[in-house]
A and B are shown apart, each in its own frame.
Chain A
Amino acid sequence: MEKTINISLKVWRQRGPKEKGAFETYSLEKISTDTSFLEMLDILNEKLINEGKEPIVFDHDCREGICGMCSLYINGHPHGPDEDVTTCQLHMRKFKDGETITIEPWRSAGFPVIRDLMVDRTAFDKIMQAGGYTSINVGGAQDANAIPISKEDADEAMDSASCIGCGACVAACKNGSAMLFVSAKVSQLALLPQGRIEAAKRAKAMVAQMDELGFGNCTNTGACEVECPKNVSISNIARLNREFLKAKFKD
């Protein structure tokens, strides 16, 4: 049988990057607990539009937890109170009847608010452009089996590659540090022979770009790892530190 709840929402509204934002409270009645969190926001927006008000702007795309587009800092947790899921995979059954839900954008100097709950995450693209790739000449791809890779390395590279670049790590970190993201992107290539060739250059370039964009310094609190919807481990951060220090000492 379908269960419904009545909730009240405290949502951050901000008209533009330079304007001052504030919380506004909305109430919603008879929300099915089978509704996803973003569907609940869709219902609210429909209500707001029918009332002639401005709908709430928020990021979303695939709605199946793989694109990394959705964000939202819900009740003190990036991606909400559920574990290892993105906001789009969060459902209203995680909330109680009569509960007040606070919804905020990611807050960090590196991610300025565009409008309401939508933040500018171009900073992550810039870090990727600085070196998060392998340079390969065009032509026929080499046979994959020609380069043997141990199962352990392949698995660990795959775990690092599960990062979807949503930015929850930055949102959760008290220092606004992007180290979990950068370390995952450095690790996914540093663990594989194809990525090894440019490993030193990559680590230096990506860290330099990260620092330049105003992200904070890692103090190893591990909040990023706890909130990461893809369970990316902070052992990646140790690897990034190692790669970076090794590269710098070699110079």
Chain B
Amino acid sequence: MSWLLNSSIGRKFIMALSGCALVLFLIFHMCMNLVSFISMDGYIMICEFLGTNWYAVAATVALVGLILIHILYALFLTLQNRRARGGDKYGSSNLTDVAWSSKNMFVLGLVVLAFLLLHLYDFWFKMMFAELFAGKIHALHSIVVLPAEVGGHMNMLFGNPIKVVLYLIGIAALWFHLSHGVWSMFQSSGFNGRTWLPRLKVIGTIVATLICLGFAIVPIIFYLRSLGLGIL
């Protein structure tokens, strides 16, 4: 199976597969998030279910592996592509009309990664990590957020407008990344053709928009609630 590493199409196939798995995770994550403003009791149940159980920890490790593969391959491919461009750069700027996101997937990926680290600190570190290691590391006692306290934690977090804006920037970068990534994974794995090319582009944009709307609505609603608007 060395061709997966050694051939350009093999490497792109790995990017497509890991990307596809991450998109499925995003859909799952987004659906869970929606529960948080529909029913806090339900959301606490989900947090307990995906808390410090062995299967949740195992899934987290698998997810980190997936993200690492996606990032390492992206780095490798980008470096190779820069080398393939050659020594002298074009003097005139490239005016070919292509989707902006398609040319900036690596930079968009970096923005998404920065957002991911912030988000992991806000939730994963204070919830799963702190709960797992609170017994061993004393300093974690003060920051640990138990599943039952998740509502208060979110109110506190998204009551801060700066945090909400940071989250929305991250989600916007994710939209651009997905708007190219979703149809692109079908193209890279060969499940595409003349008829499906335009269709998949539309489907990709719809999927990206649904995922990002689902993510964006949570911090916005929690922020509006913190302003004391009774209807929400």
Interface on A for B, CB 8 Å cutoff? Answer: 10, 12, 21, 23, 73, 75-77, 81, 102, 104, 107-113, 156, 172, 174-177, 179, 207-208, 210-211, 214-223, 226-227, 233-235, 237-246, 248
Q: Is the CB–CB distance between A221 and B102 below 8 Å?
A: yes
Residues of B within 8 A of A179 (CB): 8
- The interface residues of chain A, by DSSP majority, are classed as mixed
Question: With A237-B187, A242-B190, A245-B9 known to touch, is A215 a contact of B89 (CB < 8 Å)?
Answer: no
Residues of B within 8 A of A237 (CB): 187
Residues of A within 8 A of B192 (CB): 235, 238
Choose from B8, B96, B103 the contact partner of A218 (Cβ within 8 Å). Answer: B8
Q: Is the CB–CB distance between A244 and B184 below 8 Å?
A: no
C-alpha gap A174/B103 in the complex (Å)? 8
Choose from B95, B184, B187 the contact partner of A76 (Cβ within 8 Å). Answer: B95
C-alpha gap A100/B87 in the complex (Å)? 25
Q: Is the CB–CB distance between A248 and B90 below 8 Å?
A: no
A125 to chain B, nearest CB (A): 18
B199 to chain A, nearest CB (A): 12
Q: Is the CB–CB distance between A241 and B9 below 8 Å?
A: yes
22 contacts between A and B (CB under 8 A): A76-B90, A76-B93, A76-B95, A77-B95, A104-B91, A109-B84, A174-B94, A211-B6, A216-B83, A217-B12, A219-B102, A220-B188, A221-B99, A222-B98, A223-B96, A233-B194, A234-B197, A238-B191, A241-B188, A242-B190, A242-B191, A244-B9
Q: Which 6 A-B pairs have the closest CB atoms?
A: A242-B190, A216-B84, A76-B95, A175-B81, A176-B84, A238-B192
Tell me the chain B residues, 35-60 only, with Cβ under 8 Å from chain A: none
Question: With A207-B7, A217-B77, A222-B98 known to touch, is A245 a contact of B103 (CB < 8 Å)?
Answer: no
Tell me the chain B residues, 176-230 only, with Cβ under 8 Å from chain A: 180, 183-184, 186-194, 197
B152 close to A (CB within 8 Å): no
